[in-house]
Amino acid sequence: MENKKVLLGMSGGVDSSVSALLLKNKGYEVIGTTLELFAGSSCCDVNTYIDAKNICNQIGVPHFIYNCKELFKNHVIDDFIDCYSNCKTPNPCIECNKYMKFGFMWEKAKELGCNYIATGHYAKTEYSKKYNRWVLKKSNAGKKDQSYVLWNIPKELLEHIIFPLAEFESKERIREIAKENNLKVANKPDSEDICFVPDGNYKKFLENNSDIKPKEGNIVTSNGKILGKHTGLYNYTIGQRKGLGISYSVPLFVIGFNKEKNEVIVGEENELYKKEILVGDVNLLLVDEIKKPIEVEVKTRYSSNVAKAKIINQDKNIKVIFEKPQRAITPGQSAVFYIEDIVLGGGKIIS
């Protein structure tokens, strides 16, 4: 008899709450869990635990809280700080998914005798006869799809992951289901910011939690002409135009950094475009290795559209050659490769 026991990550929000309900209605033996990640974060305040526990009580499933603060600091906070220390722009959700939701939580699931873990992400897992393996796919939710932040899941885990919201096309429908079932979180607002920077001020977070402090330096053009002063490299990101405090005959954008010289490099908009990028920390889900160039679509930011490209194996890295040059490619962000709606894999942009 199939083991239909599932450990569900619960944030106290509407997505994971409705996920619990849907799983229970499909006959799964659901256990809810909330991970304590960072004191004062939006996903770890007292209301989070209360909301998640109340939902579990309401639909009649157990709920556990696990303290993961040290693990979270080691894998997510420290990486966040390290990226900004090295002029990269991180996406901490990707580290959290790898180490917390699909790392720690899977270990707990096995301890509890669960065959599955589940989250309220808008994504899809299924067995593909064409590729003869389990695959990660885009959900039906269009712009709400979250497959981009899930490329780092270990591929051997895919057959053990359930995304109960995979088939839904809108968040509105999820809220309707919550209302129809009298779930008190039906109108709870979405959390948009980085969970451990609930006020959105990541610069203040870095200054309070690391050795990163304001350090003035020059703003220069790509040929070295000094145009003004900056307040610290971590205060700027590729593609930024506003807040530079410089005047020039044409609009200028941040196009890069020189960490050794403590310089912010600016240029005209055409200098923001790249035809080729290098991607490291690669995780392949659809294939075991890239033996020859593969035509794919690539997404380089969560909010960006996909772009046609060719990917080529380059030692442990992947070279991406775009059909058309792409704007404001940012080291530290993820490049995720798709074949139609299937995630082939992804990695972190090096340059």
Residue 112 lies inside a defined structural domain of this protein:
yes
Residue 127 lies inside a defined structural domain of this protein:
yes
Judged on CB neighbours under 10 Å (0-12, 13-18, 19+), 16 is buried
309: tokens are: 């490209």
pLDDT by residue (tens digit) across 2-21? Answer: 789 999 999 889 999 999 99
| Statement: residue 328 has pLDDT above 90 | yes
pLDDT by residue (tens digit) across 162-179? Answer: 999 999 999 999 999 999
Percent of the chain with pLDDT over 90: 88
Residues 116 and 266 sit within 8 Å (Cβ to Cβ): no
Please report the sign of the dihedral spanned by the C-alpha atoms of residue 347, residue 283, residue 43, residue 180.
positive
Residue 125 lies inside a defined structural domain of this protein:
yes
Q: What is the pLDDT of residue 46?
A: 74
Using alpha carbons, select from 65, 55, 64 the residue that is nearest to residue 20. 55
> Phi and psi of 178, rounded to 5°?
-60, -45
Residue 162 lies inside a defined structural domain of this protein:
yes
Residue 147 lies inside a defined structural domain of this protein:
yes
Residue 208 lies inside a defined structural domain of this protein:
no
**d(C-alpha 61, C-alpha 144), whole Å:** 28
Q: What is the pLDDT of residue 19?
A: 97
Q: Are residues 83 and 145 located together in one domain of the fold? A: yes
195 is catalytic: yes
Q: Are residues 60 and 150 located together in one domain of the fold? A: yes
Using alpha carbons, select from 157, 156, 111, 164 the residue that is nearest to residue 139. 164
Q: Which residue range forms the structural domain that includes residue 308? A: 272-349
Residue 283 lies inside a defined structural domain of this protein:
yes
Q: Are residues 167 and 76 located together in one domain of the fold? A: yes
Q: Are residues 34 and 155 located together in one domain of the fold? A: yes
Q: Are residues 283 and 263 located together in one domain of the fold? A: no
The CATH code of the domain that includes 255 is: 2.30.30.280
* Listed residues 267, 283, 300: the one ending a domain: 267
Q: Are residues 121 and 140 located together in one domain of the fold? A: yes
Q: Which of 44, 87, 114, 195 is labelled catalytic? A: 195
Q: Are residues 30 and 161 located together in one domain of the fold? A: yes
The CATH code of the domain that includes 14 is: 3.40.50.620
Q: Are residues 261 and 280 located together in one domain of the fold? A: no
Q: Are residues 64 and 127 located together in one domain of the fold? A: yes
Confidence of residue 39 (pLDDT cuts 50, 70, 90): confident
Q: Would you mind telling me the total number of residues written for the chain in this entry?
A: 351
Q: Are residues 79 and 173 located together in one domain of the fold? A: yes
* Listed residues 226, 251, 267: the one ending a domain: 267
Across 189-209, average pLDDT: 87
Q: Which of 43, 68, 96, 114 is labelled catalytic? A: 96
Q: Are residues 171 and 55 located together in one domain of the fold? A: yes
Number of structural domains (the chain) is: 3
| Statement: residue 1 has pLDDT above 90 | no
Residues 259 and 233 sit within 8 Å (Cβ to Cβ): yes
Q: What is the pLDDT of residue 280?
A: 98
68 is catalytic: no
Residue 189 lies inside a defined structural domain of this protein:
no
Q: Are residues 12 and 155 located together in one domain of the fold? A: yes
**d(C-alpha 32, C-alpha 17), whole Å:** 9
Residues 6 or more apart whose CB falls under 8 angstroms from that of 92 comprise 76, 77, 79, 80, 194, 196
* Listed residues 159, 180, 201: the one ending a domain: 180
Strand boundaries in the chain, DSSP class E: 5-9, 29-36, 63-67, 116-118, 123-128, 133-138, 161-162, 217-221, 226-230, 253-258, 263-267, 273-284, 294-299, 307-314, 317-327, 334-339, 342-349
